[in-house]
Structure 1
Amino acid sequence: MALFSRRNKSDSDDASADRPDSTIEPGEQPVDPAGPSDATPAAQQAPAAPTVGISMSSFRGVGAGPENPSAPPLSARPSARQPGPMEAPEAPETVQGLRDNALLGIALAEIKDQPEPAQLLNVARQLLQGHVFLRVKGDARALLAEGKDLPLAVANRGDEQLVLAYSGGMALRASVEADGDHDTSAMGQPVMALLQHVLGGSYAGIVLDPASGDNRAVLPKALLERMVAEVDPELRIKTALCETRDETTASTIVDAMVAEAPMWIAVAQTEEGGPVGVAESRSAGGERYLEVFTHPLELLALGRGDQPLPVKPLQLAKALAGDAELTGVLIDPAGPWIRLTRDELAPVIALAAEDTAPTS
């Protein structure tokens, strides 16, 4: 059964068509109804797609020594943003039966005036945590029971349409209060379902929390495409990081790592013409943790200038097996984050031994 409806621009308005949301006003919201122009602030444009200009052979593979054996490891440099909390905050239930996406709400709350590119990257990475709220014209349950598509709220930008999504119930209520249309329903949807719907249609992007003053953001289709192209479709590690932690959290993440959930490391050249280093974090006690990221956005949002480089489980296993002084890994330092010790990473490290075991 379809959860979403699509229409051509030539289709007439009816009860099953996506509808414009009147909370998007000319000159007031970040979506310009007149369409893009030279006067559009740069912060509202799609950030340039990040590129990785360093190949694995540049530093002889993860775990291999640098060309200059005396070169120290690359310690993580100060970030442009403060690391987030280790665990996600408890999400309130502002709509009965639906919890807010607290991480996305916090990221949007950082925006003041026009959003900076780094702030949009932070919003984009937190959008990948969990779910969003959608606004549906009419009674969503009744429409589904009747087998009808759900007419989602959209914003118009010239000839383009952008889907409206919300971090929580309060943001959605702000839209209802702004336009007075109370014939509306709130529906929670996994974020991947929303992204696939947007990218599968003719939409130009997503508007998040459109009636929340400065705390709103526009994510263009080009950025959404990059997000989906490099994400784990099942969001295995990200989901474990944003849920309440228990004794199974570490093993759940390690299992996902062994099963080849996408991972990245941070690499940079220590000096012009010098060796390429892999970033690691160090605790106050001097413990060394290799930094690992679930998506390039997790690294780029830190604003350190490092390059994301994909890493396979076997490469990570060899890095840990080849350096006994590595305490473990630190996943997604921007938060929510987790440190995993060598003992917890034993199934990953075992991949290195299996790779070198003689075959009969």
Structure 2
Amino acid sequence: MALFSRRPKSSSEQDAGTPDAASTAESEETQETQESASASAEETPQVGISVSSFGGLGAAPTPASASAAAAPQAEADGIPGLTDNILLRDAIAALPEEANGTQVVGVARQLLQGQLFLRVRGDARSLAAEGKELPLAVASIEDTPFVLVFSGGSALQAAVRADGQLDSSAMSQDAGIVLRSVLAGPYGGIILDHASRQSPIVIPRQLIERALEESDDEFTVKTLLAGERTSETPALVAAALPHVPLWLAANRAREEDEWGLAESRNASGERFLEVFSHPLEVLAMGRGDQPMPIRIDQLASGFEGDDGLTGIVVDPAGPWIQLSRADLASAFAAAEE
């Protein structure tokens, strides 16, 4: 008997691109916080366009890398030396002005990889060298400060044009560093690319806390999937699976029904179990699924009991990757040790 219970066909073959506004408590909380934000939130610090790259807030700064400085700019009004977080930038650009909670969760999941960008009043490099606190650009929502975070150069330049104040600098940091720094301060959360939209995208503190609690510190799988694909990528993703949290997408049509798990099929009819690197990845599918944690040994047992499974598809909302049984062999062997 198979360990995994398959979802009814009508549910598993839903269009993943159609969001469901009534998803989960996290989605509703995000939507409520977003709706409470005023589009005219007052920005306190000023803006500039010099670029610094830091290992962490309060750490000694280093010049932007030569490769970053030489990277071609995707936008004509970008900032030299700053490479956009393309996944986050594109997710924000795809949002309608009146985004629902599930759509905002789809943006929030793209915070878990790559670099995020901040504005600092004054020269960030000089301030850090002097050991001074870096005054981040913030906006106030109901007297609570929210950190202004940017997906890249175009969004930063939009903020510069919006206020015309240049006495500040742009700072790039790993996403994990930025999010943990926000939680370490008196902030209610973050606002993304605020000058690029009429309606602000607000990611509340509670959602950031949950996102970090349910992820590994390095965002390992998300980072691998967001990076350049090579012939080694499937092996690297498979090797990471025993060491990171994993989830499946569970659902049922009625309370009396058994829970079924989401699968995908390719054009040849091969079955792939959907596996997720984070609960936000499940919620972003917009199908009303519940994230169900699973260990690698449980995943291995499920495959032993279901010969019809060809493999898994990791983070099917994208960027995604398919791993065959052969790809998973080393991960399943590690589960037995």
TM range (shorter): 0.7 to 0.9
Aligned residues: 281
Aligned residue among 274, 291, 297 for 1:308: 291
Deviates more, 1:181-190 or 1:141-150: 141-150
Greater than 4 Å deviation, 4+ residue runs: 72-75
Query: Matched residues in 1 for 2:116 and 2:256: separation?
Result: 45
Query: Matched residues in 2 for 1:270 and 1:212: separation?
Result: 40
Query: Matched residues in 1 for 2:286 and 2:141: separation?
Result: 30
**Are the counterparts in 1 of residues 17 and 285 from structure 2 also a CA contact under 8 Å?**
yes
1:338 and 2:274 equivalent?
A: no
Query: Matched residues in 2 for 1:115 and 1:145: separation?
Result: 41
What amino acid is the match of 1:310?
Answer: P
**Are the counterparts in 2 of residues 164 and 206 from structure 1 also a CA contact under 8 Å?**
yes
What amino acid is the match of 2:132?
Answer: K
Q: 1:282-297, aligned counterparts within 5 Å?
A: 282-297=265-280
Aligned residue among 282, 288, 294 for 1:299: 282
Structure 2 unpaired stretches of 5+: 20-71
1:231 and 2:167 equivalent?
A: no
In the superposition, relative to structure 1, how do residues 296 and 132 fare at CA in structure 2: closer, same or farther (>3 Å)?
Answer: same
1:79 and 2:15 equivalent?
A: yes
**Are the counterparts in 1 of residues 272 and 310 from structure 2 also a CA contact under 8 Å?**
yes
Name the residue aligned to 1:257: 241
Deviates more, 1:225-234 or 1:306-315: 225-234
Cα deviations by residue, 1:199-245 (Å, 9 ceiling, x for unpaired): 11211110111111247411111111111111121110000000010
Query: Matched residues in 1 for 2:195 and 2:4: separation?
Result: 53
SS of aligned partner of 1:211: helix
**Are the counterparts in 2 of residues 171 and 209 from structure 1 also a CA contact under 8 Å?**
yes
Query: Matched residues in 2 for 1:350 and 1:200: separation?
Result: 39
Query: Matched residues in 1 for 2:232 and 2:198: separation?
Result: 39
Aligned residue among 238, 249, 256 for 1:273: 256
SS of aligned partner of 2:194: coil
Measure how far apart 1:101 and its partner are. Answer: 0.7
Q: 1:74-113, aligned counterparts within 5 Å?
A: 74-75=8-9, 76-79=12-15, 81=17, 92=74, 94-113=78-97
What amino acid is the match of 1:297?
Answer: L
1:203 and 2:142 equivalent?
A: no
Name the residue aligned to 2:103: 119
Measure how far apart 1:272 and its partner are. Answer: 4.3
Query: Matched residues in 2 for 1:155 and 1:135: separation?
Result: 12
**Are the counterparts in 1 of residues 7 and 262 from structure 2 also a CA contact under 8 Å?**
yes
In the superposition, relative to structure 1, how do residues 348 and 74 fare at CA in structure 2: closer, same or farther (>3 Å)?
Answer: farther
Q: Which has the higher helix share?
A: 2
Name the residue aligned to 1:39: none
**Are the counterparts in 2 of residues 162 and 207 from structure 1 also a CA contact under 8 Å?**
yes
Name the residue aligned to 1:153: 137
Query: Matched residues in 1 for 2:296 and 2:125: separation?
Result: 43
Measure how far apart 1:73 and its partner are. Answer: 4.8
SS of aligned partner of 2:322: strand
What amino acid is the match of 2:115?
Answer: H
Cα deviations by residue, 1:123-167 (Å, 9 ceiling, x for unpaired): 101111212110111111222222222111011123210000100
1:64 and 2:3 equivalent?
A: yes
Measure how far apart 1:311 and its partner are. Answer: 0.6
1:220 and 2:159 equivalent?
A: no
**Are the counterparts in 2 of residues 100 and 167 from structure 1 also a CA contact under 8 Å?**
yes
**Are the counterparts in 1 of residues 79 and 157 from structure 2 also a CA contact under 8 Å?**
no
SS of aligned partner of 2:17: coil
Deviates more, 1:273-282 or 1:283-292: 273-282
Query: Matched residues in 1 for 2:73 and 2:216: separation?
Result: 23
**Are the counterparts in 2 of residues 107 and 119 from structure 1 also a CA contact under 8 Å?**
no
Query: Matched residues in 2 for 1:167 and 1:65: separation?
Result: 39
In the superposition, relative to structure 1, how do residues 80 and 344 fare at CA in structure 2: closer, same or farther (>3 Å)?
Answer: closer
What amino acid is the match of 2:3?
Answer: A
- Please report the TM-score for the alignment, with normalisation by the length of structure 1: 0.73
In the superposition, relative to structure 1, how do residues 102 and 346 fare at CA in structure 2: closer, same or farther (>3 Å)?
Answer: same
Q: 1:22-41, aligned counterparts within 5 Å?
A: none
**Are the counterparts in 2 of residues 111 and 214 from structure 1 also a CA contact under 8 Å?**
no
Name the residue aligned to 2:60: none
**Are the counterparts in 2 of residues 108 and 215 from structure 1 also a CA contact under 8 Å?**
no
What amino acid is the match of 1:117?
Answer: G
- Please report the TM-score for the alignment, with normalisation by the length of structure 2: 0.78
1:179 and 2:163 equivalent?
A: yes
**Are the counterparts in 1 of residues 7 and 252 from structure 2 also a CA contact under 8 Å?**
no
Query: Matched residues in 2 for 1:91 and 1:250: separation?
Result: 29
Query: Matched residues in 1 for 2:4 and 2:285: separation?
Result: 26
**Are the counterparts in 2 of residues 110 and 119 from structure 1 also a CA contact under 8 Å?**
no
Query: Matched residues in 2 for 1:186 and 1:105: separation?
Result: 16
